[in-house]
Amino acid sequence: MPPNERPLDWIEEELSSLDLQGLLRRRLTHQGPAGALLDVGGKTYVNFGSNDYLGLAADPRVLAAARICLEEQGWGSAASPLLAGRGAAHEELEAALAAFEGTEAAIVFPTGFAANLATVSAVVSRGDAVYADELNHASLIDGCRLSRADVHVYPHCDWRRLEEIMASTRHARRRLIVTDALFSMDGDFAPLVELAGLAERHRAMLMVDEAHATGVFGASGRGVAEYLGVAQRVDIRVGTLSKALGGMGGFVCGRRSLIDWLVNRARAYIFSTAPLPSACAAAHAALRIVRNEPDRRQRVLALAVDLRAKLVAQGWDVGRSESQIIPLLIGEPQQAVALAKQLFAQGLYVPAIRPPSVPAGQSRLRISLSAAHDTDMLERLVAALGQFAHAPAIE
Protein backbone atom coordinates (compact mmCIF):
# COMPACT_ATOMS: atom_id res chain seq x y z
CA MET A 1 0.00 0.00 0.00
CA PRO A 2 1.49 3.46 -0.88
CA PRO A 3 2.48 5.40 2.26
CA ASN A 4 -0.30 8.02 2.24
CA GLU A 5 -3.09 5.61 1.28
CA ARG A 6 -5.46 4.61 4.08
CA PRO A 7 -6.76 1.02 4.45
CA LEU A 8 -10.30 1.83 3.29
CA ASP A 9 -9.36 3.98 0.28
CA TRP A 10 -10.08 1.08 -2.05
CA ILE A 11 -13.79 1.51 -1.28
CA GLU A 12 -13.89 4.98 -2.82
CA GLU A 13 -12.25 3.62 -5.98
CA GLU A 14 -14.74 0.77 -6.18
CA LEU A 15 -17.67 3.12 -5.68
CA SER A 16 -16.47 5.41 -8.48
CA SER A 17 -16.14 2.40 -10.74
CA LEU A 18 -19.72 1.30 -9.91
CA ASP A 19 -20.90 4.83 -10.66
CA LEU A 20 -19.19 4.82 -14.07
CA GLN A 21 -20.92 1.54 -14.94
CA GLY A 22 -24.34 2.86 -13.90
CA LEU A 23 -24.37 0.37 -11.00
CA LEU A 24 -24.13 2.67 -8.00
CA ARG A 25 -27.17 2.40 -5.71
CA ARG A 26 -28.56 5.49 -4.03
CA ARG A 27 -31.37 5.42 -1.52
CA LEU A 28 -34.57 7.35 -1.88
CA THR A 29 -36.09 8.89 1.24
CA HIS A 30 -39.82 9.43 1.43
CA GLN A 31 -42.13 11.00 3.98
CA GLY A 32 -45.27 9.26 5.15
CA PRO A 33 -46.24 5.67 4.31
CA ALA A 34 -44.94 3.83 1.24
CA GLY A 35 -48.38 3.15 -0.16
CA ALA A 36 -49.69 3.54 -3.71
CA LEU A 37 -48.44 7.11 -3.43
CA LEU A 38 -45.02 8.19 -2.27
CA ASP A 39 -44.13 11.65 -0.96
CA VAL A 40 -40.54 12.51 -1.91
CA GLY A 41 -39.31 16.00 -1.08
CA GLY A 42 -42.85 17.37 -0.91
CA LYS A 43 -43.83 15.97 -4.33
CA THR A 44 -46.19 13.03 -4.77
CA TYR A 45 -45.27 10.06 -6.95
CA VAL A 46 -47.28 6.99 -7.92
CA ASN A 47 -45.35 4.16 -6.32
CA PHE A 48 -44.63 1.07 -8.44
CA GLY A 49 -41.72 0.00 -6.27
CA SER A 50 -43.47 -1.47 -3.24
CA ASN A 51 -44.21 -5.05 -2.21
CA ASP A 52 -47.30 -3.98 -0.28
CA TYR A 53 -49.33 -5.96 -2.81
CA LEU A 54 -52.64 -5.85 -0.97
CA GLY A 55 -52.40 -2.31 0.39
CA LEU A 56 -52.23 -3.49 4.00
CA ALA A 57 -49.12 -1.60 5.20
CA ALA A 58 -51.21 1.35 6.35
CA ASP A 59 -54.58 -0.38 6.82
CA PRO A 60 -56.29 1.10 9.92
CA ARG A 61 -57.17 -2.37 11.27
CA VAL A 62 -53.54 -3.44 11.06
CA LEU A 63 -52.37 -0.22 12.71
CA ALA A 64 -54.94 -0.60 15.49
CA ALA A 65 -53.77 -4.16 16.23
CA ALA A 66 -50.15 -2.96 16.44
CA ARG A 67 -51.13 -0.06 18.70
CA ILE A 68 -53.10 -2.21 21.14
CA CYS A 69 -50.28 -4.75 21.36
CA LEU A 70 -47.73 -1.98 21.83
CA GLU A 71 -49.64 -0.69 24.85
CA GLU A 72 -50.18 -4.15 26.32
CA GLN A 73 -46.87 -5.87 25.55
CA GLY A 74 -44.41 -3.02 25.11
CA TRP A 75 -42.08 -2.18 22.25
CA GLY A 76 -39.08 -4.50 22.33
CA SER A 77 -38.90 -8.27 22.61
CA ALA A 78 -35.83 -7.95 24.82
CA ALA A 79 -34.28 -11.34 24.06
CA SER A 80 -34.00 -14.32 21.76
CA PRO A 81 -37.18 -16.41 21.54
CA LEU A 82 -35.29 -19.20 23.31
CA LEU A 83 -34.68 -16.95 26.30
CA ALA A 84 -37.35 -14.46 27.40
CA GLY A 85 -38.19 -13.10 23.95
CA ARG A 86 -41.23 -15.10 22.90
CA GLY A 87 -44.50 -13.62 24.05
CA ALA A 88 -48.17 -14.29 23.52
CA ALA A 89 -48.19 -12.24 20.30
CA HIS A 90 -45.55 -14.54 18.76
CA GLU A 91 -47.34 -17.70 19.84
CA GLU A 92 -50.70 -16.47 18.57
CA LEU A 93 -49.26 -15.45 15.21
CA GLU A 94 -47.50 -18.79 14.75
CA ALA A 95 -50.74 -20.65 15.51
CA ALA A 96 -52.65 -18.39 13.09
CA LEU A 97 -50.04 -18.90 10.35
CA ALA A 98 -50.17 -22.69 10.76
CA ALA A 99 -53.98 -22.59 10.53
CA PHE A 100 -53.85 -20.28 7.51
CA GLU A 101 -51.31 -22.48 5.74
CA GLY A 102 -52.98 -25.76 6.75
CA THR A 103 -49.80 -27.13 8.33
CA GLU A 104 -49.06 -28.62 11.73
CA ALA A 105 -46.92 -25.70 12.86
CA ALA A 106 -45.19 -22.46 11.92
CA ILE A 107 -42.29 -20.37 13.23
CA VAL A 108 -41.78 -16.61 12.87
CA PHE A 109 -38.37 -15.07 12.13
CA PRO A 110 -37.36 -11.36 12.34
CA THR A 111 -37.13 -11.19 8.51
CA GLY A 112 -37.81 -13.35 5.47
CA PHE A 113 -34.09 -13.18 4.72
CA ALA A 114 -33.30 -14.72 8.10
CA ALA A 115 -35.97 -17.40 7.61
CA ASN A 116 -34.42 -18.56 4.33
CA LEU A 117 -30.82 -18.27 5.45
CA ALA A 118 -31.40 -20.15 8.67
CA THR A 119 -33.70 -22.83 7.31
CA VAL A 120 -31.55 -23.99 4.39
CA SER A 121 -28.50 -24.12 6.62
CA ALA A 122 -30.42 -26.01 9.31
CA VAL A 123 -31.74 -28.80 7.09
CA VAL A 124 -28.66 -29.62 5.00
CA SER A 125 -24.97 -29.69 5.83
CA ARG A 126 -21.67 -31.25 4.75
CA GLY A 127 -22.21 -34.45 2.78
CA ASP A 128 -25.69 -33.36 1.65
CA ALA A 129 -26.79 -32.00 -1.71
CA VAL A 130 -28.88 -28.93 -2.39
CA TYR A 131 -30.39 -28.18 -5.80
CA ALA A 132 -31.11 -24.51 -6.40
CA ASP A 133 -32.69 -22.56 -9.27
CA GLU A 134 -30.17 -20.11 -10.75
CA LEU A 135 -32.53 -17.17 -10.12
CA ASN A 136 -33.24 -17.93 -6.47
CA HIS A 137 -33.34 -15.03 -4.03
CA ALA A 138 -30.06 -13.95 -2.39
CA SER A 139 -31.21 -15.25 1.01
CA LEU A 140 -31.60 -18.78 -0.40
CA ILE A 141 -28.26 -18.55 -2.20
CA ASP A 142 -26.54 -17.44 1.00
CA GLY A 143 -28.31 -20.20 2.96
CA CYS A 144 -26.96 -22.76 0.50
CA ARG A 145 -23.43 -21.39 0.84
CA LEU A 146 -23.64 -21.31 4.62
CA SER A 147 -24.88 -24.89 4.81
CA ARG A 148 -21.61 -26.37 3.43
CA ALA A 149 -23.69 -28.85 1.44
CA ASP A 150 -22.76 -29.50 -2.22
CA VAL A 151 -24.71 -26.88 -4.15
CA HIS A 152 -26.00 -27.78 -7.62
CA VAL A 153 -27.43 -24.77 -9.43
CA TYR A 154 -29.83 -25.67 -12.24
CA PRO A 155 -30.87 -23.43 -15.16
CA HIS A 156 -33.94 -21.34 -14.41
CA CYS A 157 -37.04 -23.57 -14.04
CA ASP A 158 -35.34 -26.37 -16.02
CA TRP A 159 -36.66 -29.38 -14.10
CA ARG A 160 -35.54 -31.80 -16.83
CA ARG A 161 -31.93 -30.70 -16.36
CA LEU A 162 -32.48 -30.87 -12.61
CA GLU A 163 -33.60 -34.49 -12.94
CA GLU A 164 -30.35 -35.33 -14.75
CA ILE A 165 -28.32 -33.61 -12.05
CA MET A 166 -30.23 -35.45 -9.33
CA ALA A 167 -29.74 -38.77 -11.07
CA SER A 168 -25.98 -38.23 -11.10
CA THR A 169 -25.71 -37.17 -7.45
CA ARG A 170 -27.53 -40.03 -5.72
CA HIS A 171 -24.66 -40.57 -3.28
CA ALA A 172 -25.57 -37.51 -1.16
CA ARG A 173 -26.83 -38.23 2.35
CA ARG A 174 -29.80 -35.82 2.37
CA ARG A 175 -31.07 -33.91 -0.60
CA LEU A 176 -32.97 -30.64 -0.80
CA ILE A 177 -34.56 -28.88 -3.78
CA VAL A 178 -34.97 -25.18 -3.03
CA THR A 179 -36.70 -22.55 -5.12
CA ASP A 180 -38.56 -19.25 -5.08
CA ALA A 181 -42.25 -19.88 -5.85
CA LEU A 182 -42.67 -16.53 -7.61
CA PHE A 183 -39.39 -15.11 -8.86
CA SER A 184 -38.95 -11.59 -7.58
CA MET A 185 -37.22 -10.03 -10.59
CA ASP A 186 -39.19 -11.75 -13.36
CA GLY A 187 -42.63 -12.36 -11.88
CA ASP A 188 -42.77 -15.96 -13.14
CA PHE A 189 -43.56 -19.20 -11.29
CA ALA A 190 -41.33 -22.13 -10.46
CA PRO A 191 -42.57 -25.40 -12.02
CA LEU A 192 -43.77 -26.63 -8.63
CA VAL A 193 -45.82 -29.58 -9.92
CA GLU A 194 -42.77 -31.02 -11.66
CA LEU A 195 -40.47 -30.19 -8.74
CA ALA A 196 -42.83 -31.93 -6.31
CA GLY A 197 -42.81 -35.02 -8.55
CA LEU A 198 -39.00 -34.96 -8.73
CA ALA A 199 -38.65 -34.57 -4.98
CA GLU A 200 -40.92 -37.56 -4.43
CA ARG A 201 -39.17 -39.76 -7.02
CA HIS A 202 -35.74 -38.91 -5.65
CA ARG A 203 -36.73 -38.90 -1.98
CA ALA A 204 -35.55 -35.29 -1.64
CA MET A 205 -36.97 -32.53 0.55
CA LEU A 206 -38.69 -29.67 -1.27
CA MET A 207 -38.43 -26.11 0.10
CA VAL A 208 -40.36 -23.28 -1.53
CA ASP A 209 -40.07 -19.56 -0.77
CA GLU A 210 -43.49 -17.98 -1.26
CA ALA A 211 -42.29 -14.48 -0.28
CA HIS A 212 -43.98 -12.66 -3.16
CA ALA A 213 -46.94 -15.03 -3.43
CA THR A 214 -48.25 -15.30 0.13
CA GLY A 215 -51.59 -13.48 0.24
CA VAL A 216 -51.67 -13.02 -3.54
CA PHE A 217 -51.96 -16.46 -5.15
CA GLY A 218 -54.11 -19.50 -4.35
CA ALA A 219 -57.78 -19.75 -3.45
CA SER A 220 -57.06 -18.97 0.21
CA GLY A 221 -53.92 -16.88 -0.40
CA ARG A 222 -51.31 -19.46 0.58
CA GLY A 223 -49.27 -18.85 -2.55
CA VAL A 224 -48.22 -20.47 -5.80
CA ALA A 225 -48.04 -23.99 -4.35
CA GLU A 226 -51.71 -23.74 -3.47
CA TYR A 227 -52.51 -22.14 -6.83
CA LEU A 228 -50.83 -25.05 -8.64
CA GLY A 229 -52.42 -27.64 -6.32
CA VAL A 230 -49.23 -28.90 -4.65
CA ALA A 231 -49.23 -27.14 -1.27
CA GLN A 232 -49.38 -30.42 0.66
CA ARG A 233 -46.46 -31.83 -1.34
CA VAL A 234 -44.07 -29.04 -0.34
CA ASP A 235 -42.16 -30.07 2.80
CA ILE A 236 -40.86 -26.63 3.80
CA ARG A 237 -42.87 -23.53 2.93
CA VAL A 238 -41.45 -20.07 3.62
CA GLY A 239 -43.41 -16.85 3.53
CA THR A 240 -42.87 -13.23 4.50
CA LEU A 241 -44.87 -10.87 6.65
CA SER A 242 -43.13 -8.03 4.81
CA LYS A 243 -44.82 -7.98 1.43
CA ALA A 244 -48.55 -8.72 0.95
CA LEU A 245 -48.97 -8.79 4.75
CA GLY A 246 -47.61 -5.26 4.86
CA GLY A 247 -45.28 -5.53 7.85
CA MET A 248 -42.00 -7.13 8.73
CA GLY A 249 -40.82 -10.67 9.40
CA GLY A 250 -40.67 -14.08 7.80
CA PHE A 251 -42.09 -17.50 8.61
CA VAL A 252 -41.62 -21.17 7.91
CA CYS A 253 -44.45 -23.68 8.08
CA GLY A 254 -44.63 -27.44 7.81
CA ARG A 255 -44.57 -30.49 10.07
CA ARG A 256 -44.26 -29.99 13.82
CA SER A 257 -40.94 -31.84 13.83
CA LEU A 258 -39.53 -29.44 11.20
CA ILE A 259 -40.46 -26.44 13.34
CA ASP A 260 -39.01 -28.09 16.46
CA TRP A 261 -35.81 -28.71 14.53
CA LEU A 262 -35.61 -25.05 13.49
CA VAL A 263 -36.10 -23.97 17.12
CA ASN A 264 -33.05 -26.07 17.90
CA ARG A 265 -30.86 -25.48 14.86
CA ALA A 266 -31.81 -22.26 12.98
CA ARG A 267 -29.02 -19.94 14.07
CA ALA A 268 -30.67 -16.73 12.82
CA TYR A 269 -33.62 -17.63 15.08
CA ILE A 270 -31.73 -18.80 18.11
CA PHE A 271 -29.15 -16.00 18.19
CA SER A 272 -31.38 -13.07 17.28
CA THR A 273 -33.87 -11.03 19.27
CA ALA A 274 -37.47 -12.10 18.69
CA PRO A 275 -39.54 -9.90 16.33
CA LEU A 276 -41.42 -6.97 17.86
CA PRO A 277 -44.64 -8.17 19.52
CA SER A 278 -46.58 -5.36 17.81
CA ALA A 279 -45.25 -6.51 14.42
CA CYS A 280 -46.67 -9.97 15.17
CA ALA A 281 -50.04 -8.54 16.21
CA ALA A 282 -50.13 -6.43 13.04
CA ALA A 283 -49.30 -9.45 10.86
CA HIS A 284 -52.03 -11.42 12.61
CA ALA A 285 -54.56 -8.69 11.78
CA ALA A 286 -53.30 -8.59 8.17
CA LEU A 287 -53.70 -12.36 7.92
CA ARG A 288 -57.35 -12.04 8.93
CA ILE A 289 -57.87 -9.49 6.16
CA VAL A 290 -56.18 -11.78 3.64
CA ARG A 291 -58.52 -14.57 4.70
CA ASN A 292 -61.70 -12.47 4.72
CA GLU A 293 -61.11 -10.20 1.72
CA PRO A 294 -60.11 -12.35 -1.26
CA ASP A 295 -61.22 -9.49 -3.55
CA ARG A 296 -57.90 -7.74 -2.77
CA ARG A 297 -55.82 -10.47 -4.37
CA GLN A 298 -58.30 -10.82 -7.22
CA ARG A 299 -58.03 -7.09 -7.85
CA VAL A 300 -54.22 -6.89 -7.94
CA LEU A 301 -54.03 -9.87 -10.28
CA ALA A 302 -56.70 -8.40 -12.57
CA LEU A 303 -54.75 -5.11 -12.69
CA ALA A 304 -51.66 -7.10 -13.66
CA VAL A 305 -53.39 -8.92 -16.52
CA ASP A 306 -54.69 -5.63 -17.86
CA LEU A 307 -51.41 -3.72 -17.53
CA ARG A 308 -49.33 -6.53 -19.04
CA ALA A 309 -51.58 -6.65 -22.10
CA LYS A 310 -51.25 -2.88 -22.60
CA LEU A 311 -47.47 -2.92 -22.21
CA VAL A 312 -47.09 -5.82 -24.63
CA ALA A 313 -49.31 -3.96 -27.11
CA GLN A 314 -46.92 -1.00 -26.83
CA GLY A 315 -44.02 -3.28 -27.71
CA TRP A 316 -42.39 -3.72 -24.29
CA ASP A 317 -40.71 -7.00 -23.40
CA VAL A 318 -42.26 -8.12 -20.11
CA GLY A 319 -40.36 -11.41 -20.08
CA ARG A 320 -42.11 -14.36 -18.46
CA SER A 321 -44.23 -12.34 -16.02
CA GLU A 322 -47.44 -14.03 -14.93
CA SER A 323 -48.04 -12.11 -11.73
CA GLN A 324 -48.26 -8.69 -10.07
CA ILE A 325 -44.51 -8.25 -10.72
CA ILE A 326 -43.96 -7.01 -14.27
CA PRO A 327 -40.42 -6.37 -15.54
CA LEU A 328 -39.70 -4.16 -18.51
CA LEU A 329 -36.57 -5.71 -19.93
CA ILE A 330 -34.12 -3.05 -21.06
CA GLY A 331 -30.58 -4.46 -21.17
CA GLU A 332 -27.88 -2.04 -20.06
CA PRO A 333 -27.99 -0.47 -16.58
CA GLN A 334 -27.52 3.10 -17.84
CA GLN A 335 -30.57 2.74 -20.10
CA ALA A 336 -32.70 1.35 -17.29
CA VAL A 337 -31.64 4.20 -14.99
CA ALA A 338 -32.34 6.79 -17.71
CA LEU A 339 -35.85 5.45 -18.27
CA ALA A 340 -36.54 5.34 -14.51
CA LYS A 341 -35.44 8.99 -14.31
CA GLN A 342 -37.74 10.02 -17.16
CA LEU A 343 -40.70 8.36 -15.44
CA PHE A 344 -39.76 9.91 -12.11
CA ALA A 345 -39.81 13.35 -13.75
CA GLN A 346 -43.42 12.56 -14.69
CA GLY A 347 -44.39 11.62 -11.13
CA LEU A 348 -44.01 7.85 -11.49
CA TYR A 349 -41.64 5.83 -9.31
CA VAL A 350 -40.56 2.61 -11.04
CA PRO A 351 -37.23 1.27 -9.77
CA ALA A 352 -34.42 0.32 -12.13
CA ILE A 353 -33.06 -3.13 -11.29
CA ARG A 354 -29.45 -3.74 -12.19
CA PRO A 355 -26.68 -6.28 -11.55
CA PRO A 356 -26.02 -7.90 -9.15
CA SER A 357 -29.79 -8.17 -8.54
CA VAL A 358 -30.16 -9.46 -12.11
CA PRO A 359 -27.58 -10.97 -14.52
CA ALA A 360 -25.41 -8.60 -16.62
CA GLY A 361 -27.21 -7.41 -19.75
CA GLN A 362 -30.62 -7.92 -18.16
CA SER A 363 -31.19 -4.60 -16.41
CA ARG A 364 -34.81 -3.69 -16.25
CA LEU A 365 -37.50 -1.62 -14.68
CA ARG A 366 -39.65 -3.58 -12.27
CA ILE A 367 -43.28 -2.63 -11.87
CA SER A 368 -44.88 -3.96 -8.68
CA LEU A 369 -48.64 -3.64 -8.53
CA SER A 370 -50.86 -3.26 -5.50
CA ALA A 371 -54.56 -3.63 -4.87
CA ALA A 372 -54.27 -0.01 -3.68
CA HIS A 373 -53.45 1.25 -7.19
CA ASP A 374 -56.39 2.70 -9.07
CA THR A 375 -56.96 2.58 -12.80
CA ASP A 376 -55.99 6.25 -13.23
CA MET A 377 -52.55 5.51 -11.79
CA LEU A 378 -52.07 2.68 -14.24
CA GLU A 379 -53.29 4.80 -17.14
CA ARG A 380 -50.69 7.43 -16.26
CA LEU A 381 -47.97 4.79 -16.31
CA VAL A 382 -49.17 3.38 -19.64
CA ALA A 383 -49.34 6.87 -21.17
CA ALA A 384 -45.84 7.73 -19.95
CA LEU A 385 -44.35 4.45 -21.13
CA GLY A 386 -46.09 4.88 -24.47
CA GLN A 387 -43.71 7.78 -25.19
CA PHE A 388 -40.68 5.50 -24.94
CA ALA A 389 -42.05 2.16 -26.08
CA HIS A 390 -40.41 1.99 -29.46
CA ALA A 391 -37.24 3.75 -28.44
CA PRO A 392 -35.96 1.83 -25.42
CA ALA A 393 -32.34 2.96 -26.06
CA ILE A 394 -32.73 6.18 -24.10
CA GLU A 395 -29.62 8.33 -23.73
Provide the annotated active-site residues: 184, 212, 243
Residues whose CB is less than 8 angstroms from the CB of residue 97 and which lie 6 or more positions away in sequence, other chains included: 106, 108, 239, 251, 253, 287
C-beta of 335 vs 362, nearer to ligand PMP: 362
Report, in Å, the least distance between residue 228 CB and ligand PMP: 17
Report, in Å, the least distance between residue 211 CB and ligand PMP: 3
Contact residues for ligand PMP, defined by CB under 6 A: 111-113, 116, 137, 139, 180, 184, 209, 211-212, 240, 242, 250
Rounded to 5°, the CA angle 167-170-176 comes to 90
Dihedral pair phi/psi, residue 393, rounded to 5°: -80, 75
Report, in Å, the least distance between residue 205 CB and ligand PMP: 18
C-beta of 49 vs 333, nearer to ligand PMP: 49
CA separation (Å) from 289 to 24, 56, 257?
39, 9, 29
C-beta of 212 vs 222, nearer to ligand PMP: 212
| C-beta contacts of 303-311 below 8 A and 24+ residues apart | 303/369, 303/371, 303/373, 303/375, 303/378, 304/369, 306/378, 307/367, 307/369, 307/378, 307/381, 307/382, 310/382, 311/382, 311/385
153 has which bridge partners? Answer: 132
Output the residue with the shortest Cβ distance to ligand PMP.
Answer: 112
C-beta of 162 vs 248, nearer to ligand PMP: 248
C-beta of 157 vs 338, nearer to ligand PMP: 157
CB 195 within 8 A of CB 201: no
Alpha helices by DSSP H, listed for 5-53, are 9-20
Report, in Å, the least distance between residue 242 CB and ligand PMP: 4
Report, in Å, the least distance between residue 352 CB and ligand PMP: 16
